[in-house]
Amino acid sequence: MKLLRFGPKGAEKPGLLDAKGAIRNLSGVIDDLTGELLGDEALDRLRRLDTASLPLVDGQPRIGACVGQVGKFVCIGLNYADHAAESGMELPQEPVIFFKATSAIIGPNDTVEIPRGSVKTDWEVELGVVIGKEAKYLSEAEALNHVAGYCVINDISERDFQLHRSGQWVKGKSADTFGPIGPWLVTRDEVPDPQDLQLYLEVNGQRFQNGSTRTMHFGVATVISHLSQFMSLQQGDVISTGTPPGVGMGQNPPTYLKPGDRMELGIKGLGVQRQNVVKG
């Protein structure tokens, strides 16, 4: 299934994308795509619905983040060998973990704001993983069974804040609008191998990132298992698994976002995001 949330910010309703690409309203069935409603039993109930009987959503509503009320927004850094090389950093021996503030989360096509004082706002297309079952001290063999589904994430980053303003990476990752998620939550049964997905990102029609999850340093199962040794992962938590090469920081000369730019990014089978960039 392809699940989504639509409507004004803060008042999104749950929806389902039908076989013809139309949005069906799920608000008569569930309140939202959050927490326990992302578990296996809840998703199985949605699969058994007669999709054609669900109300059709007219027009082209705003699409919100495909998960509501996210508890943790966990990210993995330097998880593609070629991205680590372009960043001038060595591959880590264990996954590099950092957090984005959940207040950074926006819809996949919402406007991205360059924060005040920014000089190096950058892009990163990433595979997102949404947890559907509490995960604690998991083995790698168990890990993927705790996934509700997958989505597209743009891990927008301010490199000067991230690397030169002291402390950890969080301050360069957490500005408002720095976490577009969606458009869809694609349930794990439709993604048989999360290590075989093509990713891309373009700015103003120029392709900068063009990669595959096959080149991840730590695969999705390894990432989930590793995280679960240090914290429990709850239903509705989101993990952003790292970016392939082609970020602005890695260009020669470095290239960063500016007001008026337009980004397009996507992952095969998981949908496409499009964001206009404005001054914050």
Residue 20's CB is within 10 A of a number of other CB atoms, namely: 6
73: amino acid identity, one letter: F
Q: What is the DSSP letter of 62?
A: P
- Euclidean distance between CA atoms 180 and 161, whole angstroms: 19
How large is the average pLDDT for residues 44-57? 96
Give per-residue pLDDT as tens, 211-228: 999 999 999 999 999 999
- 235, 109, 243, 229: which is closest to 173 by C-alpha? 243
What does pTM read for this prediction?
A: 0.96
- Euclidean distance between CA atoms 264 and 258, whole angstroms: 15
Q: Please, are residues 99 and 44 in contact by the beta-carbon 8 Å criterion?
A: no
Mean pLDDT score of the chain: 96
Contacts for 273 with CB less than 8 Å, ≥ 6 apart: 108, 109, 152, 154, 180, 182, 183, 263, 264, 265, 266
Checking if the pLDDT of 150 tops 90, the result is: yes
| pLDDT of amino acid 172 | 94
Instruction: Identify the structural domains of the chain with CATH numbers, from first to last.
Output: 2-53 (no CATH), 73-279 (3.90.850.10)
How large is the average pLDDT for residues 48-54? 95
The confidence band for 83, taking pLDDT boundaries of 50, 70 and 90, is confident
Give per-residue pLDDT as tens, 111-147: 999 999 999 999 999 999 999 999 999 999 999 999 9
Q: Using alpha carbons only, what angle is made at residue 236 by residues 104 and 180, rounded to the nearest 5 degrees?
A: 30
How large is the average pLDDT for residues 186-197? 97
- Euclidean distance between CA atoms 121 and 138, whole angstroms: 35
| pLDDT of amino acid 164 | 86
Three-state DSSP class for residue 214: helix
| pLDDT of amino acid 167 | 75
